[in-house]
């Protein structure tokens, strides 16, 4: 524990912990599912609510944060998080609706190229969207969804993905970070290989945005999409984001809606759409302003902390946690299934255990909030903005106590409705 306290004393980011609502007697290790609320996110949400109260409909163009321009303002702030030009990013929709937009716009089966490449460890919602878009085009997902297999059930080898790239693949949709194991895929290498094979490629950044740096524009990725309620701390169901490389500007949105219009033309109410000349064209309906508002405050914290510093601390936190797992939990039946190498590890540690569901229940009873992933996964995410090294130490010592005392035995080994 003293080592943890020493690390906390040397932590240059420790002041940001005070920006968040940290509940007493609780250690929150689930920031890769839902980030904690910050005081600034609360402030900007309340500001937008006050704007509605004070201005009514005039809030669209009046007040301190006119709602009509809020998506573009937030997008410009978001762009550095993914290594993009401001005009290539749009805060809009949700992870899945943005993937649907990308597929509807850019998946154009032609000749032999009628298949979409993904991986068998991808998040289910992405696969649902891909299958539904194939079916809408009269294509059988069994034949036209090419799923790259994992060799061990936890990791995907980039050479296997590249090996599946053929002249039949029109598009590849891959995660930046695998949601279970936390593996970081080599996006620059995958992008280069896809383009060499004439394939469009895009990434689900849900488990990397806000936790690590990206260079989507320079890598040449065609598109990407993400949520903002995990590491970005935008709140439950907060508005998602998408990236469209500038070389694709002018491609008509597959799912057209009035908020994708050129803002100077939008209220002309013409039945012929004039799309925005940038990523804004891929918006659909009127934005949910209350779901965007917390991001205005949350993104301020990231600008002040710096992504490089956050990534460096995140790696130190997870490295420290892995060391403690090795020291304290040996012989208790845990398997560490995340990559140990810094360059291949995202923002969480992934443990597997046959009693994982009841172990997670026991942790919660002790005030430690983990994340269970069926059938036997435990994700622990120490977040650089608000978690401490002492909390990491307390988490693993609590886990050791639970295992030593077999305290997990009093819980059922099954997940709750939400896990």
**Residues of the binding site for pyridoxal 5'-phosphate:** 95-96, 123-126, 204, 207, 229, 258, 286
> Which residues are annotated as part of the binding site?
95-96, 123-126, 204, 207, 229, 258, 286
Q: What is the 3-state secondary structure (H, E, C) of 110-124?
A: ECCECEEEEECCCCH
User: Cβ(406)–Cβ(377) under 8 Å?
Assistant: no
Q: List b or e across 306-319, with b for residues whose CB sees 16 or more CB atoms inside 10 angstroms.
A: ebeebbebbbbbbe
**CA 365 remoteness from chain centre:** 28
> N- to C-terminal Cα distance for the chain?
30
User: Cβ(30)–Cβ(382) under 8 Å?
Assistant: no
Cis peptide before 375 (omega within 30 of 0): yes
Closest residue by Cα to residue 381 from 338, 417, 335, 410: 338
How buried is residue 169: exposed, middle or buried, by Cβ count under 10 Å (0-12/13-18/19+)?
A: buried
């Amino acid at each position: 524990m003293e080592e943890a306290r020493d690390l906390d004393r040397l932590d240059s980011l420790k002041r940001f912990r005070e920006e968040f609502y940290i509940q007493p007697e609780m250690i929150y290790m689930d920031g890769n599912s839902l980030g904690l609320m910050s005081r600034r996110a609360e402030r900007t949400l309340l500001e937008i609510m006050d704007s509605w109260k004070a201005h009514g409909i005039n809030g669209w163009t009046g007040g301190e944060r006119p709602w009509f321009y809020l998506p573009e303002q937030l997008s410009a702030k978001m762009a550095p998080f993914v290594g993009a030009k401001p005009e290539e990013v749009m805060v809009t929709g949700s992870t899945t609706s943005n993937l649907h937009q990308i597929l509807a716009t850019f998946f154009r089966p032609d000749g032999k190229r009628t298949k979409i490449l993904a991986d068998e460890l991808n998040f289910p919602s992405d696969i649902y969207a891909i299958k539904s878009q194939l079916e809408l085009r009269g294509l059988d997902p069994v034949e036209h969804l090419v799923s790259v297999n994992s060799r061990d059930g936890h990791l995907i080898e980039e050479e296997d993905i590249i090996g599946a790239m053929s002249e039949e693949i029109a598009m590849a949709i891959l995660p930046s970070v695998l949601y279970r194991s936390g593996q970081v895929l080599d996006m620059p290498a995958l992008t280069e290989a896809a383009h060499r094979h004439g394939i469009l490629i895009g990434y689900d950044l849900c488990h990397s945005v806000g936790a690590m740096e990206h260079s989507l524009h320079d890598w040449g990725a065609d598109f990407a999409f993400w949520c903002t309620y995990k590491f970005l701390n935008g709140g439950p169901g907060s508005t998602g984001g998408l990236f469209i490389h500038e070389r694709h500007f002018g491609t008509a949105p597959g799912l057209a809606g009035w908020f994708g219009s050129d803002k100077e033309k939008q209220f002309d109410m013409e039945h012929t759409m004039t799309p925005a000349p940038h990523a804004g064209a891929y918006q659909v309906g009127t934005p949910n302003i209350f779901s965007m508002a917390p991001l205005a405050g949350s993104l301020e914290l990231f600008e002040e902390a710096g992504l490089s510093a956050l990534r460096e601390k995140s790696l130190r936190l997870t490295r420290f946690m892995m060391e403690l797992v090795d020291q304290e939990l040996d012989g208790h039946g845990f398997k560490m299934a995340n990559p140990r190498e810094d360059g291949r590890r995202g923002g969480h540690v992934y443990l597997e255990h046959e009693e994982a569901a009841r172990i997670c229940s026991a942790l919660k009873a002790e005030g430690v909030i983990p994340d269970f992933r069926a059938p036997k996964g435990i994700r622990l995410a120490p977040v650089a903005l608000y978690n401490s090294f002492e909390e990491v130490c307390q988490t693993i010592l609590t886990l050791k106590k639970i295992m030593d005392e077999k305290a997990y035995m009093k819980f059922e080994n099954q997940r709750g409705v939400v896990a």
